[in-house]
């Protein structure tokens, strides 16, 4: 347990350093690149005096290190922002104020985050079931006609854009067959049943793309594990093939799947832009597209930081799960 505890602490420190590096990059891109940040923050209707007031409020005349320190203080302890006519306090963790609505970016993200988490969590369950199941079956049936069919399906899934799958599903399921209504997001707390039914097609659209990668990885890992010496020993002792595949080979091949799933969960929160836009889901992806269109830079920066946080968190959790599955990792 001491080895595992030390491993977790090292990964936690590494995650914190990575998040700090992300904040530095985001700060440089947002505050150091050319452009009148005070004018953009205050808005086009502000007078020169109001712009100067905003510049002083944002500490734009301070040295670079001092400005970055104020930026970190906003994340930890909050910060006061001038809207040109008044001062508004932004509670920690402060990611700034929206140029369009003067709303705190943190509040805006909290309002959109449950939608994206609903999409990614449901899709994750599906892509693991479909991808791992297809990969195991493909490795088990290696060299047979069914294995070639499954390989062709996974290749087609990898090459098909998510918006194509989403459009086809809506046309067939909602239009031709009329099995479901066109998706319209309903909050989980309002109606759990309608929440699930309205997310079935978005889940499938995102999961089918990701499942193809999991199927290929699982198949390769399974074939490699099935060729190892201990698997041949099990066969020599007369252990059934189903037991070998389900109890021994799958466990050995599951470690790469854990790593890939961590990357997918973290990136899918920010990468589900097309899915949310296609199905009209009011999540982080759709809000990010809107913020880019109207050049609402604090919202864009806040979204980038939150997405980076989830990517780092997902990979840190994957490292811990990897160590639990294979205790040899704790020694590294």
Q: What is the per-residue pLDDT across 8-42, written as a single tens digit (0 to 9) for each?
A: 888 888 888 998 898 888 877 776 655 566 666 66
pLDDT digits (tens, 9 = 90+) for 257-290: 777 777 777 667 766 778 888 888 888 888 888 8
**Single pTM value for the model:** 0.78
Q: Using CA atoms, how far apart are residues 139 and 219, in angstroms rounded to an integer? A: 5
pLDDT digits (tens, 9 = 90+) for 140-180: 777 777 777 777 777 777 777 777 888 888 888 888 888 88
Q: Using CA atoms, how far apart are residues 148 and 139, in angstroms rounded to an integer? A: 10
Q: Two tokens at 199?
A: 């997310």
Q: Is 9 exposed, middle or buried (0-12, 13-18, 19+ CB in 10 A)?
A: exposed
How far is residue 29 from each of residues 86, 106, 203, 240, measured CA to CA in Å?
27, 19, 34, 58
Strand partners, 82: 87
Q: Is 59 exposed, middle or buried (0-12, 13-18, 19+ CB in 10 A)?
A: middle
Indicate the angle between helix axes 145-159 and 105-140, nearest 10 degrees: 160
């Amino acid at each position: 347990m001491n080895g595992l505890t030390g491993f977790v602490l090292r990964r936690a420190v590494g995650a914190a350093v990575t998040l700090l590096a992300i904040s530095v990059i985001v700060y440089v891109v947002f505050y150091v690149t050319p452009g009148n940040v005070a004018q953009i923050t205050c808005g086009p209707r502000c007078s020169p005096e109001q712009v100067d007031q905003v510049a002083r409020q944002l500490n734009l005349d301070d040295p670079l290190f001092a400005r970055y320190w104020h930026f970190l203080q906003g994340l930890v302890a909050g910060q006061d922002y001038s809207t040109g006519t008044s001062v508004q306090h932004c509670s920690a963790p402060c990611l700034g104020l929206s140029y369009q609505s003067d709303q705190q970016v943190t509040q805006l993200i909290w309002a959109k985050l449950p939608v994206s988490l609903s999409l990614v969590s449901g899709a994750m369950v599906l892509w693991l079931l479909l991808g791992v199941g297809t990969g195991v079956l493909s490795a088990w049936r290696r060299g047979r006609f069914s294995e070639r069919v499954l390989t062709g399906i996974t290749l087609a899934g990898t090459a098909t854009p998510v918006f194509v799958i989403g459009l086809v599903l809506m046309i067939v399921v909602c239009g031709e067959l009329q099995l479901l209504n066109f998706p319209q997001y309903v909050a989980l707390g309002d109606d759990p049943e309608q929440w699930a039914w309205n997310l079935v097609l978005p889940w499938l659209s995102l999961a089918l793309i990701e499942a193809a990668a999991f199927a290929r990885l699982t198949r390769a890992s399974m074939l490699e594990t099935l060729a190892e010496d201990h698997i041949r020993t099990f066969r020599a002792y007369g252990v059934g093939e189903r037991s070998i595949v389900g109890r021994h080979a799958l466990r050995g091949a599951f470690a790469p799947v854990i790593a890939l799933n961590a990357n997918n969960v973290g990136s899918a929160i920010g990468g589900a832009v097309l899915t949310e836009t296609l199905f009209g889901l009011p999540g982080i992806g759709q809000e990010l597209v809107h913020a880019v269109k109207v050049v609402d830079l604090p919202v864009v920066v806040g979204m980038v930081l939150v997405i980076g946080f989830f990517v780092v968190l997902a990979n840190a959790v994957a490292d811990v799960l990897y160590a639990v599955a294979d205790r040899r990792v704790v020694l590294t």
